[in-house]
């Protein structure tokens, strides 16, 4: 009995010692809050260095305003129009029927018995499931991806590039293109001090690149696209950036986005040849972000893959230049962002390094298998003799025609606004106009420790409900200001957006140009001069 009493006391002590917060409150004991292990002081500094403007402060503010509207808060507008991100379905684009049919059949094979699904969709789903463990989309795939999907991608690339050979062993399925880009950069970053890897990125650029470079502690090497020449890539600018960077790092990587994000340009074949020759001469690893390869609208422009151009330059180039090319389900005509499907093709990688890449990919097990299935449909669409061909072709054409129309509409309206100029939106899904910001607005922004185009975009959001991304989040030449907007809203909503934007810009110029008649007599002329000013 005595021993039993001791045991009870010990148990009570243990319960007190390890009691929950609720139990402590119930017994009236005060809670002592310890210092947290993870604080801003102990946080990985590389995480703090990461910035991603596409989902930055403006977008967070837009979310707050949107929730306020739902709760009845009065605003001078009835809705927030999110033109900040290339999310086609969120903007109202309808899914491509055939893509959804095949993925649905893969997810729920019992639908194979339904007459509502065409035979060509069933055949593709059966083939994908045949290569999945347990014939289920819920199983892990190989780290490189489902084999039949990789083979289909290789066939697609060979067809796209008019017979240039493609080896399925060089194909890796990824969680969107971003996952592949990050994986390749991880392989490339090494060294310390002046031998630290430098990564050449276009300015303006998609913020994934600057964020990844910061996270990996690599060195940013900025090369500027030529705004006065429709955002063309100038080889002399590449050479300038490279030679300047060699003094403080080891340039090893050259990143290209074609068609461009946020700039919407489509690089010419001659330009790509010059870039590849430069990479060959300087022994640079080329990363070609080609996720917008189906999004070309200008009749004078054509998509040329870096791989095809490299092949046509001859065996000396094709056998030596290390090249990783990226594609995704998120863009093009499907806009299937949520599936997180994508792939990369890697050429001329050292076999031992290739084994290390597979090891690195195996750590994350595999990309979403549903996304792999969606990627397969994009590279293996219905053929002329198949029952889904007519509907698929009609839907694809409708999406791309609508985007081409909206690209022209956006360029036309933005260029009609005093103090604003916009290059032709040749491809991709964005416009990146340059805006004139009066000196008084620049001074106000500086007093708020804010970039001038951030002030502009914040006021645009607060007065109109339109959410766009400041150009400073993508990089721009000193003394110029821009914003990025998508062309994805439906034509009616896009017209409303552009008219509201035009009205806002004129009000903004008037408000900040008062008492400065001499300085701002002709804002548009000054703006044009600014565009031509060299860095």
At which residue do the structure tokens 């552009």 appear?
498
Residues 150 and 108 occupy one common structural domain: yes
List the structure tokens of 464. Answer: 């109109």
Residues 264 and 404 occupy one common structural domain: no
Provide the domain limits for residue 129. Answer: 97-379
Q: Are 121 and 518 in contact (CB under 8 A)?
A: no
Residues 166 and 269 occupy one common structural domain: yes
- Can you give the pLDDT at residue 527? 44
Residues 407 and 357 occupy one common structural domain: no
What CATH number corresponds to the domain at position 425? 3.90.1150.10
Q: How far apart are CA 258 and CA 292, in angstroms?
A: 7
Residues 223 and 133 occupy one common structural domain: yes
Q: Of the candidates 379, 408, 432, which is a domain's last residue?
A: 379
Residues 127 and 68 occupy one common structural domain: no
- Can you give the pLDDT at residue 525? 47
- Can you give the pLDDT at residue 3? 58
Q: How far apart are CA 478 and CA 535, in angstroms?
A: 7
- pTM, two decimals, is 0.85
Residues 420 and 472 occupy one common structural domain: yes
Of 429, 526, 425, the C-alpha closest to 481 is 526
Q: Are 213 and 220 in contact (CB under 8 A)?
A: yes
Q: How far apart are CA 90 and CA 86, in angstroms?
A: 9
Of 167, 249, 221, 229, the C-alpha closest to 426 is 229
Q: Are 468 and 81 in contact (CB under 8 A)?
A: no
- Can you give the pLDDT at residue 15? 52
- Can you give the pLDDT at residue 279? 96
Domain presence at residue 40: no
Pairing of β 341-347 and β 323-328: antiparallel
- Count of structural domains within the chain: 2
Tens of each residue's pLDDT in the chain, 535 residues? 555 555 555 555 555 555 555 555 555 678 888 788 888 888 877 776 666 555 668 888 888 888 888 888 888 888 888 888 888 898 889 999 999 999 999 999 999 999 999 999 999 999 999 999 999 989 989 889 999 999 999 999 999 999 999 999 999 999 988 899 999 999 999 888 899 999 999 999 888 888 888 888 899 999 999 999 999 999 999 999 999 999 999 999 999 999 999 999 999 999 999 999 999 999 999 999 999 999 999 999 999 999 999 999 999 999 999 999 999 999 999 999 999 999 999 999 999 999 989 998 888 889 999 999 999 999 999 999 999 999 999 999 999 999 999 999 999 999 999 999 999 999 999 999 999 999 999 999 999 988 999 999 999 999 999 999 999 888 899 899 999 999 999 999 999 999 999 999 999 999 888 755 444 444 444 444 444 433 3
List the structure tokens of 305. Answer: 């893959």
Q: How many Å from the N-terminal Cα to the C-terminal Cα in the chain?
A: 89
Pairing of β 285-289 and β 469-470: unpaired
- Can you give the pLDDT at residue 520? 40
Domain presence at residue 201: yes
- Can you give the pLDDT at residue 524? 41
What CATH number corresponds to the domain at position 105? 3.40.640.10
Q: Of the candidates 379, 402, 426, which is a domain's last residue?
A: 379
Q: How far apart are CA 135 and CA 106, in angstroms?
A: 9
Query: For 250, phi and psi rounded to 5 degrees?
Result: -115, 100
For 116, counting Cβ atoms within 10 Å of its Cβ (0-12 exposed, 13-18 middle, 19+ buried), the class is exposed
For residue 439, how many C-alpha atoms fall within 13 Å in the half-sphere facing its CB? Answer: 9
- Can you give the pLDDT at residue 84? 87
Residues 337 and 417 occupy one common structural domain: no
Q: Of the candidates 379, 407, 434, which is a domain's last residue?
A: 379
Burial 311-343 (b: 16+ CB within 10 A, else e): bbbeeebbeebbbbbbbbbbbbbbbbbbbbbbb
Domain presence at residue 523: no
Q: 456: which residues sit within 8 A by CB, 6+ positions away?
A: 435, 437, 441, 470, 481, 483, 508
Q: Are 293 and 332 in contact (CB under 8 A)?
A: yes
- Can you give the pLDDT at residue 530? 41
């Amino acid at each position: 009995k005595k021993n039993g009493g001791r045991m009870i006391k010990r148990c009570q002590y243990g319960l007190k010692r390890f009691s929950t917060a609720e139990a402590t409150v119930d017994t009236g004991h005060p809670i002592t809050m310890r210092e947290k292990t993870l604080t801003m002081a102990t946080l990985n500094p590389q995480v703090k260095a990461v910035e991603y403007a596409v989902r930055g402060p403006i977008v967070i503010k837009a979310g707050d305003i949107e929730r306020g509207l739902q709760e009845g808060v009065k605003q001078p507008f009835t809705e927030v129009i999110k033109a900040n991100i290339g999310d086609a379905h969120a903007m109202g684009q309808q899914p491509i029927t055939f893509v959804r049919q095949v993925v649905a059949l893969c997810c729920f094979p019992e639908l194979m018995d339904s007459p509502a699904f065409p035979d060509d969709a069933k055949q593709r789903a059966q083939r994908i499931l045949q290569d999945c463990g347990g014939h289920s989309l819920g199983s892990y795939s190989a780290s490189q991806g489902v084999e039949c999907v990789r083979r289909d991608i290789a066939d697609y690339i060979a067809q796209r590039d008019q017979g240039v050979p493609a080896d399925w062993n060089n194909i890796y399925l990824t969680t969107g293109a971003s996952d592949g880009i990050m994986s390749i950069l991880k392989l490339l970053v090494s060294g310390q001090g002046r031998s630290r890897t430098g990564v050449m990125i276009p300015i303006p650029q998609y913020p994934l690149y600057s964020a990844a470079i910061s996270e990996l502690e690599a060195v940013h090497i900025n090369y500027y696209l030529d705004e006065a020449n429709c955002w063309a890539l100038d080889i002399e600018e590449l050479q300038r950036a490279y030679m300047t960077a060699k003094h403080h790092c080891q340039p090893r990587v050259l990143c290209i986005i074609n068609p461009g994000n946020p700039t919407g340009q489509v690089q010419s074949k001659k330009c790509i040849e010059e870039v590849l020759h430069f990479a060959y001469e300087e022994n640079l690893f080329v990363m070609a972000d080609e996720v917008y390869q189906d999004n070309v609208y200008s009749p004078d422009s054509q998509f040329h893959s870096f791989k095809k151009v490299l092949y046509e330059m001859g065996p000396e180039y094709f056998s030596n230049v290390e090249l990783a090319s990226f594609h995704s389900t998120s863009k093009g005509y499907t806009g299937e962002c949520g599936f997180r499907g994508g792939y990369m093709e890697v050429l001329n990688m050292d076999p031992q390094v290739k084994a290390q890449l597979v090891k690195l990919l195996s750590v994350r097990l595999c990309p979403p298998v549903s996304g792999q299935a969606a990627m397969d449909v994009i590279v293996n669409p219905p053929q002329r003799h198949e029952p889904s061909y007519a509907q698929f072709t009609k839907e694809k054409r409708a999406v791309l025609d609508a985007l081409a129309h909206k690209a022209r509409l956006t360029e036309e309206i933005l260029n009609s606004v005093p103090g604003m100029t916009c290059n032709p939106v040749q491809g991709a899904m964005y416009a990146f106009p340059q805006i004139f910001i009066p000196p008084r607005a620049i001074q106000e922004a500086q007093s708020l420790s804010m970039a001038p185009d951030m002030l502009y975009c914040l006021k645009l959001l607060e007065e109109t409900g339109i959410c766009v991304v400041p150009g400073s989040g993508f990089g721009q030449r000193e003394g110029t200001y821009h914003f990025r907007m998508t062309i994805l809203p439906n034509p009616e909503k896009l017209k409303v957006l552009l008219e509201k934007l035009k009205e806002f810009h004129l009000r903004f110029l008037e408000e900040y140009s008062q008492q400065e008649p001499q300085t701002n007599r002709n804002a548009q002329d000054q703006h044009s001069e600014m565009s031509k000013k060299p860095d």
